[in-house]
Amino acid sequence: MACFIDAVALCREDVRRELTVCLRRPDGYVNKKQRDIRRVPKLDIVAPSIPIRPVPGDGTEFLDPEFLEHVETATNTTRDCRRNLKMLRTLVSRQNMKQATMYMDELRSAGKANIYIYNFMISTFGRFGDIDQALELKEEMERRKIGPDTFTYSALISAFSRANKPTNSEAMFIEMISRKVKPNVVTFGALMSVYAKRGLVDLAEQAMDHMEKENIEKNAVVYNTLALAYANAGRLEKLKGLLNAMHMHSVLPDSTTYNTLINSFCEQDDYETAYAYLENMKQAAWIAGPDVITFNIFLKQCAKKGNVKHANRVLELIQSENLKPSVFTYSSLINAHAKAGDFDGADRSLRLMRSKGLKPNVVTYSSLIDARAKRGEINKALRLRSDMEEDGQLPNTITWNSLINGLGNTCRVDDAEKLFQEMKDKDVYQTIDTYNTLLSAYSKVADTGRAEKLVLEMKGSGPSPDTKSFSILASIYARRRDVAGARNILKRMEQARVEPNVYTFTAIADAHAKVNDMEGVASVLEQMLERGLSPNQVTLRAALACLEEESESSQLRRLVNKSKNPAKLIVLCQNIIELLRRDV
């Protein structure tokens, strides 16, 4: 275990800093007990980081099956405990978090909240993204000396992973080991999802190796997470060898495995390999074979890229398999046409959907609204919102975000603010994406005053600012040529324990470039490389903006515009740093 812990701790410098505080509550979380519980978002519970299958809807989806089995078989669980858990699961599955929280409070007051009740609510709050509440329950467990145990830590590691706070996930894992709480396959699955999101293949593979050394039986879930790590790192050859690796360890791939592989290759526009896995899936006798969900994965990727050709092919495959297309199927088809700018095709698909007796839902309308808004047709998008409400479909958070984004992109910031306030008035949950979308609207007009006011609100009653929030804020200061304001963002992020990314450094480099501070640009680029971040084309174009047009800088501009390979961009970045320093 020690070797693996060292690998986790050394993977990033900020994780090493986290070790000094891993036995106390992580900073950066404002106590939000007064948050309006009615604004909790609707859940979309899935396997770790893989949006593949629907949930059963009976509440059991809110905990890992191993946890539920543990509750059912544990000798110290009473019938009363199981009844209380069932009530909580029912309330949560109905999205009634206010009642679930009140019921939990009653159990705590009556002294009936045992470790299983706490773990359920910690897992639930974690899935809702309310890590503050989850951490408070963990601290209460510690005060009452009833935990935490393996399931508590697994739920918190997973919650931090979902919130894109990898250092906190890793610190929680290290705290777990330091307290001699033994991790299980669920823990490693949650930790691996942290690495999978960042494409850290080496650490994900080390976790798999450690499970083998500790005789922790692997399951399909951890292999599915490993597949996601390969996909995010672009390691397609390793991805292709996944089924063989599972076979060697006597782990049968499940529907999620195949769906993950299909999803990954569709994302890379390698539809032929995806279709090959589809055929392989048909031959797997231990699973039911591809269903509408599998084909919907194809359609989802087609919709993302506006690939109408493959979307229509998938619809034909669904019909040839005698499967019944769902509302999601047609919504994805409509979305594919809309993304491609083919609104006539989208209208035809909508009519076809209605002819099959299927009613457009919020996803259908949201797809059309988003496409119109992104094309700058915001008035048509607003009319679609009226149509959807007349059709009995209430806009959800995604719908509102699309409209706010469309208004922001057309510099209608006041109208965007009105919609934001309307969401509050109608008790529509405002996610971090909602706040970031409004921040982006402020960035279009370089309004630091309103942007800072919104960030202050986020720290008080909204979701805590994340990497994107601070990056947008840095870009606003850059637009105003406020170098000090832009550079100060890094200090603020460090205080909030939020990691900067390439977009953060790009915005700060842009601020320096706008005032022709070549040494400042070079310094920012060096900081970025020291953190192991790879620049993108936008970063390097911003850096080159402060250089005069001459042969060497012109050549670098051409190379930057042609290259998308991360390794090549790093080399170009180093060349640009040298050129900037030479011209200072």
Does 38 share its domain with 94? yes
Does 43 share its domain with 178? yes
- Structure confidence at residue 462 (pLDDT): 80
CA distance linking residue 527 with residue 572, whole number of Å: 15
Nearest to 318 by CA among 270, 278, 265: 278
- Structure confidence at residue 583 (pLDDT): 65
Domain boundary among 166, 184, 216: 216
Domain boundary among 483, 500, 517: 500
Does 480 share its domain with 514? no
- Structure confidence at residue 164 (pLDDT): 80
Instruction: Flag residues of the chain having pLDDT under 70.
Output: 1-77, 549-551, 583-584
Does 187 share its domain with 72? yes
Is residue 334 in a domain? Answer: no
Tokens at 259, concatenated = 């769906």
Is residue 409 in a domain? Answer: no
pLDDT tens digits for range 168-216: 999 999 999 999 999 999 999 999 998 998 888 999 999 999 999 989 9
Residues ≥6 apart with Cβ < 8 Å to 196: 48, 49, 204, 225, 226, 228, 229, 232
- Structure confidence at residue 129 (pLDDT): 80
Does 435 share its domain with 582? no
Does 545 share its domain with 446? no
Helices (H), 359-464: 362-374, 378-390, 397-409, 413-425, 432-444, 448-460
CA distance linking residue 311 with residue 320, whole number of Å: 14
Does 438 share its domain with 576? no
- Structure confidence at residue 173 (pLDDT): 93
- Convert 99-109 to b/e letters by CB count within 10 Å (16 or more is b): bbbebbeebbe
pTM (predicted TM-score): 0.59
Is the Cα torsion angle 263, 268, 272, 273 positive or negative in sign?
negative
Does 494 share its domain with 576? no
Does 480 share its domain with 583? no
Does 10 share its domain with 75? yes
Is the Cα torsion angle 524, 530, 531, 537 positive or negative in sign?
positive
Tokens at 142, concatenated = 């510690």
- Structure confidence at residue 77 (pLDDT): 63
Is residue 375 in a domain? Answer: no
CB count within 10 Å of CB 140 equals: 14
Question: Dihedrals φ, ψ of 371, to 5°?
Answer: -65, -45
CA distance linking residue 566 with residue 73, whole number of Å: 50
pLDDT tens digits for range 72-103: 555 456 788 888 888 888 888 777 788 888 99
Task: Please state the length of the chain.
Answer: 584
Domain boundary among 472, 500, 528: 500
Is residue 479 in a domain? Answer: yes
- Structure confidence at residue 296 (pLDDT): 86
* DSSP reduced 3-state for 34: coil
Q: What is the CATH number of the domain that holds 7?
A: 1.25.40
Tokens at 105, concatenated = 């409070």
Looking at the structure of the chain, the number of domains it has is 3
Q: Is the peptide bond preceding residue 500 cis, with omega within 30 degrees of 0? A: no
Does 446 share its domain with 580? no
End-to-end distance of the chain based on CA atoms, in angstroms? Answer: 50
358 touches 327 (CB < 8 A): yes
User: How would you write 523-538 as a 3-class SS string?
Assistant: HHHHHHHHCCCCCCHH
Is residue 470 in a domain? Answer: yes
Is residue 23 in a domain? Answer: yes
Nearest to 301 by CA among 338, 345, 271: 271
Nearest to 469 by CA among 492, 483, 482, 537: 492
- Structure confidence at residue 49 (pLDDT): 30
CB count within 10 Å of CB 25 equals: 12
Domain range for residue 580? Answer: 507-584
Q: What angle do CA 500, 503, 507 make, to 5 degrees?
A: 100
